[in-house]
Amino acid sequence: MNSMEIEMQYNDLYYEKLSDKIFVCISSEHRFGTDAFLLSHFAKSRHKDIAADFCSGNGIVSLLLERDYSPKKIYALEIQKKAYDQLCLSIDKSELKDKIIPLHGDLKDYKADEELDLIVCNPPYKADGAGIKNDDKSSSIARHETLCTIDDVCASASRNLKFGGRLCVCNRPERLCDIMVAMRKNNLEPKRARFVSKSKNTAPWLVLVEGKKGSKPFMKIEPQFYIQSDDGTRFSDELKELYRLYENSGN
């Protein structure tokens, strides 16, 4: 099915520009937030990396990795059909078919054709049964561990990463213990963590964690990432760098 045929199936699609050549397809169910930018920045893939993006959604993290770091190849894996269609449209419009390979499937069954250097995953944040589920099935799947758990993510990552390969995930801080336990259970030693707060006066709302396959215990806690500037009137310089926003001096 070509891009025009895919677009004709839906009436709520539009594109947002990530660079002069890279675009991401948005719908009412499958959008993206700041966490996608934070995760791609935290993962910092190398040019030689063969990477995978689990729970890829519309492809936002894969597109950001390509835009900012240009790894050798990215396998983008998504289970929901509409999100996968958006992923394909994002890749096609950005002319990245040779760099990002879309895959429609379940990460629990996934076995890559080659060993991976890096896996990134922006998984459902809420454990199944925790909190009120959205009436929209797509939104519930994206937010709750309905189709996969953090342990499923870590088990698949361990199966597909090469020795020394990395899994980078983001999640809510209250899930940090679950992440650590799942990583160690699956031979992925937690090596780095970074917390994200709105400001210096607020508790973290996001945590980023890197696990390395077969590594020895030793974990680095990186400096806190703040969304707002010190006076709370604008984005922090670090966030502006992620978003590629630049303000005139004095603003």
Across 23-37, 91-105, 130-144, least confident range = 130-144
Q: Is residue 27 part of a domain?
A: yes
Residue 67 — very low, low, confident or very high, per pLDDT cuts 50/70/90?
very high
Res. 133: pLDDT tops 60: no
User: Looking at the 3D structure of the chain, how many domains does it have?
Assistant: 1
Distance CA 150, CA 155 (A): 9
Q: Is residue 189 part of a domain?
A: yes
Q: Is residue 250 part of a domain?
A: no
| Per-residue pLDDT tens digits for 226-251 | 999 988 889 999 999 988 865 544 44
Q: Is residue 128 part of a domain?
A: yes
Res. 197: pLDDT tops 60: yes
Task: State which H helix or E strand residue 52 sits in.
Answer: strand 50-54
| Per-residue pLDDT tens digits for 161-191 | 999 999 999 999 999 999 999 999 999 999 9
Percent of the chain topping pLDDT 70: 89
For range 2-20, the mean pLDDT: 92
Res. 138: pLDDT tops 80: no
Question: What pTM was computed for the model?
Answer: 0.90
Q: Is residue 251 part of a domain?
A: no
Distance CA 135, CA 113 (A): 37
Residue 249's pLDDT is what? Answer: 41
Check which CATH number belongs to the domain holding 85 and give it. Answer: 3.40.50.150
Indicate the average pLDDT of the chain: 91
Tell me the residue range of the domain where 141 lies: 3-243
